[in-house]
Each structure stands twice: as C-alpha cells, then as structure tokens.
Structure 1
Amino acid sequence: MTKVRIGLVGLGNMGTGHAKYLIDKEVPNGELAAICDLREDRLAWAAEHLGDNVKRFTSYEALLDSGDVDAVIINTPHYFHPEQAIQALRKGLHVLIEKPAGVYTKQVREMNEAAKESGRVFGIMYNQRTNPLYAKLRDLIESGELGEVRRTNWIITDWYRSQSYYDSGGWRATWAGEGGGVLINQDPHQLDLWQWTIGMMPTRIRAFCSFGKHRNIEVENEVTAYAEYENGATGVFVTSTCEAPGTNRFEVAGDRGKVVIEDGAMTFHRLRVSESEFNRTFKGGFGQPECWKIPIATPGDSPQHKGITANWVSAIANGTPLLAPGEEGIKGLMISNAMLLSTWTDNWVDLPIDEELFLSKLQERIDASSTEKKSGEYKTLEVGGTH
C-alpha cells in the first residue's frame, strides 16, 4: 500500500488540527480522504479549507461504508470512542482513537477484543510518548541505569481552568457529557506516562477526589492519590484544575538515584554506588552515597499528534511497530477509574478494578446529573450499546 486513505470522525478542535497537517501532506503515505461531522458550520469549513477532493459526510455509517477510506481517526466525545472504534474495526478499517480510550474499562476491554479479532492496526493518540524527555526516562529505567524503581511522585497542577471554560460547552464537566473531570479530560497523558515510563502498574490505589472544588461543576477537579506496586514501590499523583500557578514535576526514585523532570528539563541525581550496596557495606553510622547531579540532554523533536499519526500510518503501510498501541489505552484509564472508585467507596481499590461496581457507581452519577448537559443518548451505559 503506497497511500493510506484517512477519514476524520469529528471536526472539532482535535479533528481540525489533524486535518491541517494531513491536508498539508506532512504525514508520509497519509492522505486525507474524507471527514464526518454533524454540524453544518464544520462541514462548511471543510468545504472551504480542505477542497472537493476530501469527501464530506454527516453519517458515520455512511463514511464507513463509502469505500473512500482505509482508516479512521476518531475525535468524538469520550463515550463514543469504543463504540465507534468497534464499528470501524468490524468494517475492516484501521483505527486511531483520540485519548482517552473511553470512560470505563469494561467498554474499553470490548474495544480491545474487537481490535484483536479484526487484525487491523489500532492506535491511540498518546502524543506525549513522542516527547524525548519521557522516552529518555523510560530508557533509563528499562536499561537498569536508575535501578529498581522505589518511588514515583507526579505533581501535575498546571491544568488551570476557569468557570468560564466549563461554561463554554454544555457537555463540559458533567458525568453525562464527559464521564469525569481532570482525570478523564486533562490527565490521560500523564496517567499513561506514569505507567509507561516505569514499566509497571499499581497493585492498589487509595485516592481522594474533590468534586466541583471552587467551581460550579459536577466532576472531579482536584485529586490526591497514593499507589502501591508489587515490588514494594510507592507512588503519589496530585492533580488539579483550580490551582494557580500550577506545577508539573515528575520524580522517579530508584536504587541508583533519582530522575526529576520539570520545566522541560531532566536532571539525574545519580548515585556513585547503588543505595542497596552502600547500605550493605557502609559502616560509618551517619553517611549517604556520593551523588552526582547530572543534566540529561534529550535531543530530538517532539512531533506530538503528527508523530503518532505518522507512526500509525507507517504501521499500516510498512508494518512499523506502534509507539502507542490502542490496546494500552486501558492502562491509564484503569488507574483513573480506580481513583474515582476509591473515593466513591472511601476505601482502597485493588487493580484490576471491579468493573461492574465502577459502572454502577458511574451510572448513579449520570442519573443524578441535573444540568442541561444531560442527554438521553448518555443515560444508559451498556457495553456495545448506545452511549
């Protein structure tokens, strides 16, 4: 295959961004062939800016059945991602979904099974995996340079959102429209990177989520969570959309030192000998291992969304391994669901979570949604059904 004909499903902010670099032919072997949106203004924009060679559809099913595309990028509201991905995969099309993978893991698990059965190339838009900072951290851990991971700490509170932001869309910050707040909307990249860089998932989580803190919204907008891992490591994850100025600082401590990522830079506090060796051999009472503070260069571009799309297209056309396989979207979502479930039950939550319990708790909140943002198409959550 020399060209992969791509259809964009949803032409909002993200879909429009994808359309621009695709129409400018910035993705090798990728060709924008069609778009789909229900809104007349977005169809008019497509006609003006994308030209007559890009087909326009108001029906998703019509796009899938058109024969005009080999693959689709899904940029619709969160609840629709698994359902629409499953439809496309079963039609024999390759799929790239925007983050998050979905709202609840039971729904995403069905999508993953459909992807496996289809044999198609299935990716997720985890564009932060293209960031050299996080790729280098993953390499330092995988190679053993940092030693066994003992502690992680991510403070990600620079997601500031005002009340006017939440008021700008009827679906925003509601259980019916988005299915959550900061964890499902702003943090999917960090929740993915948290497990992707260190190479392991928590075994259990205790979290404290605040809902509508300092804002008139339904969903969580401030979270503090504590995680435990099979090897004895611990982790803390702190996030907020109502803190200014915010912080973005990721620390990973290992047996051979500590890595800190902050302000777009990486610092490796490297021990001359590992902590475990020093502890075993040192006889001087007070003392600690010699430590070198080393700035770590992370050369290379961070192609972000375009990079993930190019990698996905290359996987379709050339068999290139995916940087962000769609099946891995369930991992960060599992952590997110666990944090909410821990708060709702006021208890520890083991991973993998009780998916039926989470779904029932989420449904309770959708049923209680009291704004105009509640829509009949979101009322009942059934795997493979209408969301």
Structure 2
Amino acid sequence: MDKVRIGLIGVGNMGKGHTEYLVGNQVKGAELTAIVDTDASRLDWVRTNYGDKNIQLFDDLDAFFASKAFDAVIVATPHYDHPESAKQAFSHGYHVLVEKPAGVYTKQVREMNEAAAKSGKAFGIMYNQRTNPLYQKLRDLITSGELGEVRRTNWIITNWYRSQSYYDSGGWRATWAGEGGGVLINQDPHQLDLWQWTIDMMPKRVRAFCGFGKYRNIEVEDDVTAYVEYENGATGLFVTTTGEAPGTNRFEVSGDRGKIVIEDNKLTFWRLRVPEPEFNREYKGGFGSPECWKCDVPIVGAPGPGHKGITQNFVNHILNGTPLLAPGEEGIKGLTLSNAMHLSSWIDNWVDLPINEDLYYEKLQERIQSSTVKKEVKAVEMDVKGTH
C-alpha cells in the first residue's frame, strides 16, 4: 500500500475541516474517497465545493461500509455516536481515527477499545493538541526527570467563553441527551488529555464541584473546580468555565526540581540548582531557599500542525509503522477524568479511579430521562451539526 484511502463519517463543522485539508492534499499518502452523512444539505455542500474530486457520497452507513471504497475512516459524528461508529468500522475491517471525545461515558469507550484490539487495525484519536511543541516539551521535561518528581499540577482553563446565543443555536446543545455534558465533554477534552499525558500520570481519586447552568440557561455543567490526588502524594487542581471573561489558560506543574508554567504560548521553567529535598536535607541556615534560575525555554513550531498533523501521523502509522502520537485506546483516560468529575458532583463525594462505570451510567441515564432533548443514548441518530 502506498496510499491510504479515507472515508469520512459525518461532514459537520469538524468533518468539513477534515474534508478541506484532505482534498487539498495536505496529508501525504492520504486520499479522501468517500463521505457518509444522513443530512442531505451536508452532502450538497460536498457536491457544490468538491464535485470534481471523485468522492463517493452516501446517505446510509451500511452502504458506506459495504462499498469498500476506503481503507480507513475518520469518525466526525456527535459524541454519543463515536464508539458505535468506530465499532462498526472495525467489524468491517477498517482502520479508525475517531474525533474527540472518545465517547460520553467510559463503559461505551471501553467496548470500543476492546473492538479495536480484537480487530488488529490501526486506532487513533484526534487529540491534535499533542502535536503542539509546547506540550511535547513539557512532557519531555517531566518524563525525562528534568523537573524531578511531580508534586502539584494546576490548570486554570477559563477562556472557553460561550454566550447564551451559542447554546440557543441548537436544541441539542448543552443537554444530557444531546451532548452528554457541558464544558468538560465539549470544550475541555484536549486539556483533560494533556493534563494526564504531559505528566504521564492519572489521579487515584477526584473531588469535584460542578455548577450546572450556573451562568447560562442550560442543564449541563458550565463551571467546574476539581481537586485530585495522585499515588505519589502529589495533588492537582483543574478549574474551567464557559461563563467567565476575560478567561485564563495557565498550566503549572511543580516538581522537586522546580516549576514549569505554560501561559500565553510560552513555556517558562523555574529550575532549582539543587533539588528541594537535597537542599532541605543539607541547609542549616534557618531562613533560605534553593537557588533558582528562570529559564525561558525556546519552543519552535507552536502551535503545531493540529488536526492534519494527527491525520498525517495516523496515515504514516498505517503505511510505515510510525508510532501513533495519540493512540485511540488512550481516549478513555481524559474521559475518565470528566466522568469522575461529573460523578463526584452528583454524589457529593470523592470518586476513586477507576470509576464505577455502572454507577456513572445509571446517574447519566437519570439525567437523560429528564433532559430537554428526549432521546435514549443508544437511539441517538447520526446528526452531524458540529458540536464545538
């Protein structure tokens, strides 16, 4: 194989973006050969803009899979549909690149991961922020031991401002049945992934406080403060909202060799000349602290190639065996964090990880039943209107 033929499931907001860079030959070794969507107007958009590109169009998912017009699929449907579409693709022998989030609840994502493993096909997730050199450098400084043992993480990500008119633009927006959550499931999947990926560590338990419709007339969370604890004794804080202006995006990680901060697209390393435990053990002068150097770490290429970078890596993996930057199986990690935050707030208590998936599903179903959008999770049809 010298080229990967790609079929696109869903051509909403995200699907259109994938269409544009694939048709524009911005991913070497990839060719967009088929698109499926149940919305006729979306297919008309493809015909109008790319009618000369020999892309096969389908309005039926079964016919799409049966066509064998592609080797791999990109799943760009609404959240609830991601795992089911991926599982169908695996069952038909296709490689899968799924949009984030991996799903809405970990139980369905675990089933998707099992189907991927059984299929033996390539499986990636569109965690495009992993291509950002800022976060790659942070991960390198931590996993290489340069920062020492992690002691504290603190991410304030409040620059997701959304007005009421945004939520009013679609009846499915910000509903338990339509999207499965609010700021955690819609805006924050990248940060929740990077939070654990950069430090290479998941918490052991979570205590969260969610405001549901705190700033907007919606039923899901629009304000979250979560505290986590790690096995090594480190702690973490995650603060997010869509109702604050101006917002902040500041990620700080402290270790026993200093502190690293990412803010305003810059990475700053306050590096201790002597590790804090060593200084504390040897210093006898009473008041005092370790010598510290402020280092502005040069970052080349930020913010990175984004979506097409992940797609290029996925294609390279299929063609050449290049390691995946964002393996699909890892999508469950960030989702576990958001599920844990929801569940902690619902039961007003700590939640241990791994979470009780059955309890989470039960509590989610209760909210779906009273949702303003009357749908059963398993009956949600593909409706690619875009979710971001």
Q: What is the TM-score normalised by the length of structure 1?
A: 0.96
How far did 1:271 drift?
0.4
Q: Partner of 1:313 in structure 2?
A: 315
Q: Partner of 1:84 in structure 2?
A: 85
Could you list the structure 1 runs, at least 4 aligned residues long, displaced by more than 3 angstroms after superposition: 376-380
Secondary structure of 1:364's partner? helix
Secondary structure of 1:46's partner? helix
C-alpha distance in 1, partners of 2:290/2:324? Answer: 40
Secondary structure of 1:375's partner? coil
C-alpha distance in 2, partners of 1:197/1:162? Answer: 31
Q: Partner of 1:335 in structure 2?
A: 337
Contact 1:367/1:379 (<8 A) preserved: no
How far did 1:57 drift?
0.4
Q: Deviations over 1:45-66 (max 9, x none)?
A: 1112122400000011111110
Secondary structure of 1:218's partner? coil
C-alpha distance in 2, partners of 1:246/1:288? Answer: 33
How far did 1:68 drift?
0.3
Kindly provide the amino acid, as one letter, of the partner of residue 46 in structure 1. V
Q: Deviations over 1:100-134 (max 9, x none)?
A: 00000010000000000100000000000000000
Kindly provide the amino acid, as one letter, of the partner of residue 121 in structure 1. A
C-alpha distance in 1, partners of 2:51/2:23? Answer: 9
The equivalences for 1:139-288 within 5 A come to 139-288=140-289
Kindly provide the amino acid, as one letter, of the partner of residue 356 in structure 1. D
Contact 1:29/1:313 (<8 A) preserved: yes
Q: Partner of 1:383 in structure 2?
A: none
Secondary structure of 2:152's partner? strand
Kindly provide the amino acid, as one letter, of the partner of residue 337 in structure 1. N
Secondary structure of 1:226's partner? strand
How far did 1:300 drift?
2.5
How far did 1:170 drift?
1.6
Secondary structure of 2:244's partner? coil
How far did 1:91 drift?
0.6
Secondary structure of 1:292's partner? strand
Contact 1:221/1:242 (<8 A) preserved: yes
Tell me whether 1:22 sits opposite 2:45 in the alignment.
Answer: no
Secondary structure of 2:342's partner? helix
Contact 1:258/1:268 (<8 A) preserved: yes
How far did 1:377 drift?
5.9
- Tell me the C-alpha RMSD between the 2 structures: 1.0
Gaps of 5+ in 1: 381-387
How far did 1:375 drift?
2.7
How far did 1:310 drift?
0.4
Gaps of 5+ in 2: 381-388
Q: Partner of 2:386 in structure 1?
A: none
Secondary structure of 1:154's partner? strand
Q: Partner of 2:352 in structure 1?
A: 350
Q: What is the TM-score normalised by the length of structure 2?
A: 0.96
Kindly provide the amino acid, as one letter, of the partner of residue 344 in structure 1. W
Secondary structure of 1:353's partner? coil
C-alpha distance in 2, partners of 1:264/1:374? Answer: 41
C-alpha distance in 2, partners of 1:178/1:169? Answer: 11
Secondary structure of 1:200's partner? coil
Q: Which has the higher contact order (CA 8 A, sep 6+)?
A: 2
C-alpha distance in 2, partners of 1:60/1:279? Answer: 63
How far did 1:29 drift?
0.6
Q: Partner of 1:113 in structure 2?
A: 114
How far did 1:304 drift?
0.2
Secondary structure of 1:42's partner? helix
C-alpha distance in 2, partners of 1:62/1:278? Answer: 67
How far did 1:378 drift?
5.2
Contact 1:176/1:379 (<8 A) preserved: no
Q: Deviations over 1:156-206 (max 9, x none)?
A: 000000000000012100000000000000000000000000000000000
C-alpha distance in 1, partners of 2:55/2:379? Answer: 35
C-alpha distance in 1, partners of 2:273/2:376? Answer: 61
C-alpha distance in 2, partners of 1:240/1:300? Answer: 28
Secondary structure of 2:365's partner? helix
C-alpha distance in 1, partners of 2:243/2:15? Answer: 27
Q: Partner of 2:104 in structure 1?
A: 103
Kindly provide the amino acid, as one letter, of the partner of residue 350 in structure 2. W
Contact 2:154/2:253 (<8 A) preserved: yes
Q: Which moved more, 1:149-158 or 1:37-46?
A: 37-46
Q: Deviations over 1:215-269 (max 9, x none)?
A: 1101001000000000000000000000000000000000100000001001000
C-alpha distance in 2, partners of 1:98/1:80? Answer: 10
Contact 2:368/2:376 (<8 A) preserved: no
Q: Partner of 1:44 in structure 2?
A: 44
C-alpha distance in 2, partners of 1:128/1:379? Answer: 31
C-alpha distance in 2, partners of 1:376/1:117? Answer: 28
Secondary structure of 1:260's partner? strand
C-alpha distance in 2, partners of 1:110/1:205? Answer: 24
How far did 1:41 drift?
1.3
C-alpha distance in 2, partners of 1:367/1:121? Answer: 36
How far did 1:38 drift?
1.1
Secondary structure of 1:287's partner? coil
Secondary structure of 1:223's partner? strand
Kindly provide the amino acid, as one letter, of the partner of residue 189 in structure 2. P
C-alpha distance in 2, partners of 1:103/1:64? Answer: 24
C-alpha distance in 2, partners of 1:166/1:374? Answer: 17
Q: Deviations over 1:273-303 (max 9, x none)?
A: 0001000000001100011111011112500
Instruction: Classify 1:132/1:327 alpha carbon distance in 2 versus 1 (closer, same or farther; 3 Å).
Output: same
C-alpha distance in 1, partners of 2:70/2:374? Answer: 33
C-alpha distance in 2, partners of 1:122/1:25? Answer: 22
C-alpha distance in 1, partners of 2:15/2:161? Answer: 23
Contact 2:83/2:112 (<8 A) preserved: yes
How far did 1:362 drift?
0.2
Kindly provide the amino acid, as one letter, of the partner of residue 6 in structure 2. I
Q: Deviations over 1:295-319 (max 9, x none)?
A: 0111125000000000001111111
